[in-house]
Structure 1
Amino acid sequence: MKQTKLMLVFAALFLSGLMVNAQEETKRLEFKKGEVLDILLFTGKPEMAKLFPKYRKTAFVFASKTGYQPQQPILSVQETTQGGYQPGTYVFGKWPNVDARKKFLNEIVANVPDFHEQRRSMWSTFYVSYFEMEKDISFELNPKKVLVSTHLWKQNDSEFNSYQKEWLKKAKANGGKVILELKNSRSAIGYMYKPDYVVLTEWNTRDDFDAFLKEDMKIDKKGIQNVNQFVIK
């Protein structure tokens, strides 16, 4: 409950009143080939509401100058269903290209010297993954559905590929719809989070997803090194 409240405070501060939270209405996200999709995972501290206005006037201003597009959904992590990481917030971000993303990472400290200190003051955990789009993609986040984000790390290619095929087969058999698949993640020093495969699935009901989860537990896990899975809203 505390994390949900922190997430809502962050959304209000971050978006300055723009209602683009997927909890309110279906949100369609579109990315062109060459654009960059961010996934930001973090857990807020109680001080966040007090400290974020400074961050918005410094780090956020520089991010916007280098091409960051903030009109993306801010989601809460309702539950971690696999893995030990339990973030409070799940954010999609958007950049015009990889060069813009790297420019921010390479130049932020020169422009905002206390950037990392600000982040540590507001968030107890903060991880970044970003992905360059290999083709045009679009997907929708429907608040009436159950949305699940699964992040997998490979143990080896052949066994991972077998696991992935079985995973997708069982997901679809239990009513799951794959709405986004991401590979070739990149990250940043100090915020390293590089899953080999991210898949966002949509389920009509929580019972459907829970039925799949039981099936997933039966699949041989030799092909994967690690998994984090979050129900998001």
Structure 2
Amino acid sequence: MIFFIGFLLFIAAFIYLIVHFIKKSKDKERVLSKKVFYSMLIGGFILFIVGSFVEDESTLAQLEDVKSKNEKLVTENNNLTDTNSSLTDEVEKLKEENAELQTELDNTQKKLSKVNENSSNYESNIEELNNKVEQLTATINEKDSEIESLQSENAELQNTISTTKVQDSSTNSSSSGESNNSSINVEYDNCTHARNAGAAPVYEGDPGYGRHLDRDGDGVGCE
């Protein structure tokens, strides 16, 4: 009977230890009640030994074996306790590292948001500049059209002036010889001189015409 009671206490001690580790996996701060555990373990062990001697001396060898196993289990329990402490420390360190990484992630996300905001501003500025370029291009095209129109009008005026000068030359050919001689001897140093004298453009054959005034050689100087 004593042997059976000791055996039950011994088993109860291990059941208590197993239940403790199961609950400790959910509650890290749970502490093993060594008083209860070792009371059941040692009490069961003692009763187990006493019962063994009372019931049968032949079980002494088995009792020693159980005692050895019990010591191993106690050692393993201590090792498990140390391992649990080490794992708890590692978990705390990992939590700290996770907090640091989360802080770095938040800072990086803030920087990224700022970069995206600046990028949006740059895109708006680029779009505004493109609109201005388009407006300037349209204005330039309008001015080019106006210039072409003015050049066309100028060409027509030049033709009219040329016709008028030819008519004037025909009329002046019947004037006095002194006037013709003085006109023939007219020379212009440059186109500015000719324009100031009201002779531009100067046509080939007209008084004052010279190759230095007609750079493209088309017979019309100071165009």
Q: TM-score, normalised by structure 1?
A: 0.18
Q: Look at both structures and tell me which one has the larger radius of gyration over its CA atoms.
A: 2
User: Of the two structures, which has the highest relative contact order with CA contacts closer than 8 Å and spacing of 6 or more?
Assistant: 1
Give the strand-richer structure, 1 or 2: 1
TM-score (norm 2): 0.19
Normalized per residue, which structure has more helix?
2
